[in-house]
Structure 1
């Protein structure tokens, strides 16, 4: 058996975009693929048959209420020891370019081979046995870039779709709770974005909701990052969601306050289309095979576009979603629905 440790301890979207690489590795006869993730994105791999074992890394600022820094560090030490005992043949730094933190984990694994990426012309590191050079980041999609890591291993399959698995029981529970029976289309409006220039204002969201409802019977699922805007660990958009509901009386809104990543995945599974800014939720939608209207601000659409699903990308010269009109978003929605302009 060939034992592979893939290291991807980054954001939600980063891990989702790594799932085609996981599929290609797991498809090799006699290969076992384990993954090191962080506690924030761990649920992305729930139910994924390509992964044999998941190791969790928790960042100190993500520790739970009442959990001490020492408890987090102790768990980290236990994880290091478990990885070391596993006896990995290959460690893969699944990142657009290697850096010292994931490389430390690859080194601690004791793997005979360490595979990592870098831009052409950038030096490697003595611990990297298989350094893969790639064009400048942003010139190709991240899924394609990560697939370059397969070449030193003799794997040359093209990247497939993203692989995400919503929990069927959670999906059924939300369907019953919110009365989503499939009799009318269900469109998701996802409100949250980490970057300031990716945040579409409430007034335009409300105007879009009115346009969607006026176009025909539908249900509008409202999704957002829960919590207060000043939460130091995970800033949320409860106030923004409440403002949207208040500005949309009489509309078929279904605000679903998802308190976990697993719940977000279940809620997105219920939808026929997702309208969202670039970010983790956009990749959740693509991972579940949902058509996406994607509003891009100052991020690179070539690298981060929804992968392998029908989508419309909206981005202006200003590289700020505030420059994107309601008309433009509604037109993109209709095109995805197969309607004429």
Structure 2
């Protein structure tokens, strides 16, 4: 670790966190880090740089862990120039690049260009040298893989370079904070689509960015039939612009009458309102995808399914969440019966 001893915590007024990548799940896994920074520097302004694809999930004045969002936009020279001007219109005491599985030249350049006195990040991770570490002046070496450390805990360890301590209870209590308007929109959606019939509401997400991370539509369809027969539940089917094919495949595996009577679709709603809706359902069953993290940080019980990716590294960390890891890295080796049994345990716990 280098140069962190010169940091006077009481003099820190402005902190920049650089997270301009597109992955929604990666962004949400940094939420406990942002919370730990807020706890350690309660009177500092915290500014987060996010991408055009993932900034919306935190784009609300109700979010208590950040004060400002700066969207990284390089789509045109003019927009990139405006981004740089907005970046440099502030004097930063600390800039942090929370990198855990890859090192981005862009992130480190943004950190350097911020002009922050303390530029914080990773010197090496699991013996992989960060070749952009020369842009940092407060950095440390980390060993994560041998400890099978969750991504959330990796981010928190980066925060500890500047003294951001966060207990296990702290990290497990971090949640998205929805505005009154977002909560009311969710309530309106519930009244319109779910009524007051007392049926359990189970969310289903069949998609994932990579095909090898998708449990088959046939498996999801069989699971839904079993859950309906056992609980008389109603299903809330979430979708995204990359998941249309898997959603259509699921519908094709179900009787049209079943779909009409027992499935509510999200209709492409705003992601924060979707999070508020998810906070009110009984269970969410999903592949390893960004909405898995949205559901978990909304306070929903989640069953997450993992094939080639590691559940110990990416699954939701909160209580009342279960991840099921394929025994052979093939996600379709996860049996419908095992998901069904775990679903019942969470629904009726």
TM-score by length of structure 1 reads: 0.87
Offset from partner CA, 1:90-129 (integer Å, 9 cap, x none): 1100221532111011011111111112314344522211
Matching residue within 312, 315, 318 for 1:302: 312
CA-CA distance at 1:132 after TM superposition: 2.3
Does residue 119 (structure 1) correspond to residue 125 (structure 2)? The answer is yes
CA distance in 2 between partners of 1:24 and 1:218 (Å): 38
Residues 248/202 of structure 1: CA separation in 2 closer, same or farther (3 Å cut): farther
Residues 248/141 of structure 1: CA separation in 2 closer, same or farther (3 Å cut): farther
Name whichever structure is richer in helix by fraction. 2
Q: Which residue of 1 aligns with 2:35?
A: 23
CA-CA distance at 1:180 after TM superposition: 4.1
CA distance in 2 between partners of 1:21 and 1:194 (Å): 25
CA distance in 2 between partners of 1:85 and 1:105 (Å): 13
Q: Which residue of 2 aligns with 1:75?
A: 79
Q: Which residue of 1 aligns with 2:288?
A: 278
CA distance in 1 between partners of 2:266 and 2:42 (Å): 42
Q: Which residue of 1 aligns with 2:162?
A: 153
Residues 255/243 of structure 1: CA separation in 2 closer, same or farther (3 Å cut): farther
For structure 2, the residue ranges without an aligned partner over 5 or more in a row are 1-11
1:1-20, aligned counterparts within 5 Å? 1-10=12-21, 11-20=23-32
Matching residue within 113, 130, 135 for 2:143: 135
Number of corresponding residues: 322
Secondary structure in structure 1 of the residue aligned to 2:191: helix
Does residue 32 (structure 1) correspond to residue 41 (structure 2)? The answer is no
Q: Which residue of 1 aligns with 2:203?
A: 188
Residues 228/189 of structure 1: CA separation in 2 closer, same or farther (3 Å cut): closer
CA-CA distance at 1:303 after TM superposition: 1.0
1:1-341, aligned counterparts within 5 Å? 1-10=12-21, 11-27=23-39, 28-45=41-58, 46=60, 47-58=62-73, 60=75, 70=76, 73-96=77-100, 97-117=102-122, 118-124=124-130, 125-137=133-145, 139-158=148-167, 160-161=171-172, 162-166=174-178, 167-181=182-196, 183-226=198-241, 237-240=246-249, 242-244=251-253, 246=255, 249=258, 252-338=262-348
CA-CA distance at 1:137 after TM superposition: 4.2
Of 284-293 and 181-190, more deviation after overlay is shown by 181-190
The alignment's C-alpha RMSD in Å is 2.3
For structure 1, the residue ranges without an aligned partner over 5 or more in a row are 61-69, 230-235
TM-score by length of structure 2 reads: 0.85
Of 145-154 and 14-23, more deviation after overlay is shown by 145-154
Residues 308/59 of structure 1: CA separation in 2 closer, same or farther (3 Å cut): farther
- Asked if 1 retains the 8 angstrom alpha-carbon contact of 2:220 and 2:250, the reply is no
- Asked if 1 retains the 8 angstrom alpha-carbon contact of 2:276 and 2:298, the reply is no
